[in-house]
Structure 1
Amino acid sequence: MKTYSTAASLRAALNVGKRAGKTVAFVPTMGNLHEGHLRLVRRARQYADIVVVSIFVNPLQFGANEDLSNYPRTLAADKEKLFAEGAQFLFLPQVDEIYPEGMDSHTKVSVPELSEGHCGANRPGHFTGVTTVVAKLFNIVQPDTAVFGEKDFQQLSVIRKMVRDLCMPIDVVGVATARAADGLALSSRNGYLSPEQRQIAPILHRVLQECREAIACGYDSYCKLEQHARTSLIQAGLEADYFNICDGRTLRPVTADTEEVVILAAAKLGTTRLIDNVTLNVNSSTDWGMLAAN
């Protein structure tokens, strides 16, 4: 595995393979890699000849009171894991390589509507930070395929729309969320949890599953389901941020045209913010007149 810290050096190396007709898959990360990230690398290997992974803790997507300075950085361990998984290129830029004139004066890429609710509602500027850095990384790497986890369903949706809207010739692949044995979605931020909090954290996924099962069984009052779920989280010791039942394509309320329902949730446990989601395919036999009205 070769490591590059500048866009010019990475591009020069990749161009050698591209001229030989090799395809490129890209996995952007912020490091502190766990099994979820490694699954993305494995999937990327299935799609292309060359796998590029980036590690960049992007300051533009962190709010003023968020954990940028404390975000876990484990570069030595990350390199070992990527080498073992067969990644050929690691892009490891510094902040001034990505934002040479500073973040305030840098061109921003924003995706309206999809980025405005859910996580976007309580983290102003977050998704603009994400789409700006991802667009820039895409332009640097110029991959055929880019691989992302489905844990952050909204982020994946926003990136897919950005790619479509800006006519980027990139296939964006989503990979199912990697979970611990008790259902907790793997996340770099799980390391912040105390042992007691770690026992509570899986309740978020449990409540999501219960909500999905209720919908699958025909329960048609979405507002009541959301309220019940938020109450369950609070009673378990989690601070509910949002718990929203949505159309999986628009991330807006379910309508008669909805083909996939996604249930999006975020909650705080101490200072740690957890996010998760589950999805449910719906069929034409469902009484959508009743569902859309609730």
Structure 2
Amino acid sequence: MEVFSDKEQITRVIDAFKAQQLTIGFVPTMGALHDGHLALVEKALENNDKVFVSVFVNPTQFNNLDDLKKYPRTLEKDIMLLETISKDILVFAPSVDVIYEGKTVSQNFNFDGLEHEMEGKFRPGHFNGVGTVVKRLFEIVKADNAYFGEKDFQQLQIIKKLVKNYSIPVNVIGCEIHREKNGLAMSSRNTRLTEIEKLEAPFIYKTLKTAKKFFGTKSADWVSKWVEKQFESNEVLKLEYFIIADIDSLKQIKKKSKNKKYRAFIAVYAGDIRLIDNIALN
């Protein structure tokens, strides 16, 4: 398996692939890979001649420096895991200096308001950091297709907007949420949960599924209040937000409309570990 950390080296390889008219698939990650990431990689392998996986913990998208320090970094293990799928995957594991060239700051973006909803309200500047690193990775890798999980649905919509606003020639493909057997959405942060938190965390998805059932007959406001009440009696999990939103604008809704599609979004703390999830409602 080839691992690149140098921008010039990876550019030469990509230019050679392009000259041969080979299609390139790309899966950007922050490492600490799990089966959810591997599902994205497998999808990319099915649809492209060559596949790159980036492993880069992006400092500019963390509001909490402690969270950045604690974020798992397991490059050797990640490479071994990728090799179980295919030894032909190419890994791009750059340093912060390679990506940011000595200036570790975010570019300011206008994502037509998507960046101010949900995660944007609780993590100011987060999506500027996401937009900055994804734009730079797209400029380096020059992929035909890029794959992102729907667990970070707001991020997925923002990346689609980034590609449209900046005319980046890449097809952004969203892939369904990969879950543990107990329903918990797979996340690199799950490895930091205590045994008690691991036992309690599936309550998040269970609550989302019940909220989806209620959404068929109840108002969005009623469902939101019901969810808040469920978490009031949970001693392990603390609800940060539950929002029912239009999937295009990501704005919280007050009333349902027949021709609109909605998702429920949730953010929950288990100790100091923040877990997010979402579910399609119709």
Report the TM-score when normalising by structure 2.
Answer: 0.94
Aligned to 1:156: 156
- Aligned-partner SS, 1:21: coil
The amino acid across from 1:164 in the alignment is: K
In 2, Cα distance between equivalents of 1:243 and 1:236? 15
- 1:182 corresponding residue in structure 2: 182
Q: Which residue of 2 aligns with 1:271?
A: 272
Paired residues for 1:99-110 under 5 Å: 99-104=100-105, 107-110=107-110
Question: Cα–Cα, structure 1 residues 215 and 153, in superposed 2: closer, same or farther, change >3 Å?
Answer: same
Secondary structure of the 2:148 match is strand
User: Secondary structure of 1:204's partner?
Assistant: helix
Deviations 1:213-264 (A, max 9, x none): 1113x22x21121121022123123211110001111111345365321000
Counterpart residue number, 1:81: 81
Q: Which residue of 2 aligns with 1:251?
A: 250
Contact 2:148 2:175 in 1 (8 A): yes
Distance in 1 of aligned mates of 2:31 and 2:60: 16
Q: How many residues are treated as equivalent by the alignment?
A: 278
Question: Which residue does the alignment assign to 1:262?
Answer: 263
Q: How does 1:60-99 map to 2 (within 5 A)?
A: 60-86=60-86, 87-99=88-100
Deviations 1:34-59 (A, max 9, x none): 00000000011122100000000000
Instruction: Give 1:280 shift.
Output: 2.4
Secondary structure of the 1:27 match is strand
- Between the aligned partners of 1:180 and 1:107, the Cα distance in structure 2 is 35
Q: Which range is displaced more, 120-129 or 253-262?
A: 253-262
Report whether the alignment pairs 1:234 with 2:235.
Answer: no
Report if the CA contact (8 A) 2:14-2:142 is conserved. no
**1:1-294 matches, cutoff 5 A:** 1-86=1-86, 87-104=88-105, 107-216=107-216, 218-219=217-218, 221-237=219-235, 238-254=237-253, 256=257, 258-281=259-282
Would the aligned equivalents of 2:149 and 2:175 in 1 still touch at CA under 8 Å? yes
Instruction: For 1:230, give the aligned amino acid.
Output: E
Question: Residues 27 and 53 of structure 2 are in contact (CA less than 8 Å); yes or no, is this contact kept in structure 1?
Answer: yes
- Classify 1:65/1:96 alpha carbon distance in 2 versus 1 (closer, same or farther; 3 Å): closer
CA distance in structure 1 between the partners assigned to 2:247 and 2:258 by the alignment? 11
Q: Shift in Å at residue 112 of structure 1?
A: 3.9
Displacement after TM superposition at 1:103 (Å): 1.7
Distance 1:90 1:84 in 2: 14
Backbone CA RMSD of aligned residues: 1.4
**Runs of 4 or more above 4 Å deviation:** none
Q: What do residues 55-84 of structure 1 show as CA deviations (whole Å, max 9, x unaligned)?
A: 000000011444111111111110011122
SS across alignment from 2:114: coil
Residues 81-134 of structure 1, C-alpha deviations (whole Å, 9 max, x = no match): 112222521101000111113224x64445241111111101111111001100
- Once the two structures are overlaid, the 10-residue window that deviates more, 39-48 or 83-92, is 83-92
Q: Distance in 1 between matches of 2:273 and 2:64?
A: 16
Structure 1 unaligned runs (5+)? Answer: 282-294
Secondary structure of the equivalent of 2:277? strand
CA distances 1:180-213 after superposition (whole Å, capped 9, x unpaired): 1110001000111110111110111111111111
Unaligned runs of 5+ in 2: none
Kindly provide the amino acid, as one letter, of the partner of residue 183 in structure 1: G
% identical aligned pairs: 37
Letter in 1 for 2:247: G
Counterpart of 2:44 in 1: which secondary structure? helix
Residue identity opposite 1:228 in structure 2: W
Say which SS state the counterpart of residue 22 (structure 1) adopts: coil
Would you say the 8 A contact 2:107–2:128 is kept in 1?
no
Which stretch shifts more, 223-232 or 127-136? 223-232
The one-letter amino acid paired with 1:40 is L
SS of equivalent to 2:69: coil
